[in-house]
Structure 1
Amino acid sequence: MAGVYFDELTVGQVFHHPLKRTITEADNVFFTALTHNPALLHLDEEYCRTETEFGQRIVNSCFTLGLMVGISVGDTTLGTAVANLGWDEVRFPKPLFHGDTIRVETEVIELRESKSRPNQGIVTFLHRAYNQKGELVASCKRSGLQLKRPQG
């Protein structure tokens, strides 16, 4: 079990996840096609080159969100999560492009005991993803129900 129990977390704790990921064209096109998203911004290179401010395809933001959260799991919730309760304040201040590499950090911003589940608590994480230039490309708050360390 790599994750952290609720009672081992502290507000202000920051995880600098060692796993980084270079996003490929295949990642973007497969994800976009699998989710039935026909947006030309993700699929049509010629359109993006001539009709957008980006000059190239941009990475699907839903893929970026999933990747950002996924990179965090091994250090935070793997084996200790009961349920994901929601994502809030999801932001994409800069686009990602094919060939960009992201790194992720996670901060614990709130901890609350569960009133109905004495062996669990609610944690709110703030995830932030950066490209290889150190620019913030995504962020979100994620709330989850987390196990406490087993007694005995």
Structure 2
Amino acid sequence: MEYLEDLVVGTKRGFGQYHVTREEVIAFAAKYDPQPFHLSDEAAAKTHFGRLSASGWHSCAMAMAMIVEDLKAHEHAGLGSPGVDELRWLKPVYPGDTLRLENELVEVTPSRSRPDMGSFRSRVTMFNQHDEPVMRFTSIALVRRRP
């Protein structure tokens, strides 16, 4: 089990692999972000994207899928998250891309009001198959302290 006390600022690691399909880009956009450049090759060709691209919110969902898959492989004392900071979509994500994540632990803070828990911040960067960063955010997570 990994607790707050086990976390070391500066720790870096890579994980995940997610292949983006045309079908899911269109399905996600149709339901959650129905802008023309996420739904149609013709509309996307008229924009700076040049071709069909995934919604930034879809990129966030794909990152979450990789994070949860990684969490399943390790026992952790996680308690959820109050949010993210500094979310940036750096480059478009296209159907056919294969994505991965890199994580760097940047802060570990014991709670002042809850002695049984604390929080940590991680800088998460999503890369495409060309090792180009396509998205970056700072994740804030809550975690138990060692009993």
Alignment of 1:3-152 (within 5 A): 4-17=2-15, 19-35=16-32, 37-49=33-45, 51-75=46-70, 79-149=76-146, 151=147
1:103 deviates by 0.8
> Is the Cα contact below 8 Å between 1:110 and 1:123 reproduced in 2?
yes
Distance 1:70 1:118 in 2: 30
Q: Structure 1 stretches (4+) deviating beyond 2 angstroms?
A: 72-80
Distance 1:146 1:83 in 2: 8
1:117 deviates by 1.5
Q: 1:24-53, CA deviations, whole angstroms, 9 ceiling, x for partnerless residues? A: 112212222222x2201100111112x112
SS of residue paired to 1:82: coil
Q: 1:117-149, CA deviations, whole angstroms, 9 ceiling, x for partnerless residues? A: 112111111100100001000000011111123
Would you say how many aligned residue pairs link Structure 1 and Structure 2? 145
Which shows bigger deviation, 73-82 or 38-47? 73-82
1:70 deviates by 3.1
Distance 1:34 1:80 in 2: 33
SS of residue paired to 1:81: coil
TM norm structure 1:
0.86
Distance 2:78 2:140 in 1: 11
Q: 1:45-87, CA deviations, whole angstroms, 9 ceiling, x for partnerless residues? A: 11112x1122211111011112223312344586522121111
Please, what is the CA RMSD of the aligned residues? 1.8
Instruction: Flag the 1:30–1:143 CA change in 2: closer, same or farther, 3 A.
Output: same
TM norm structure 2:
0.89
> Is the Cα contact below 8 Å between 1:104 and 1:127 reproduced in 2?
yes
Distance 1:114 1:123 in 2: 10
Question: Unaligned 5+ residue runs, structure 1?
Answer: none
Distance 2:5 2:40 in 1: 48
SS of residue paired to 2:80: strand
> Is the Cα contact below 8 Å between 1:68 and 1:128 reproduced in 2?
no
Question: Unaligned 5+ residue runs, structure 2?
Answer: none
> Is the Cα contact below 8 Å between 1:129 and 1:139 reproduced in 2?
yes
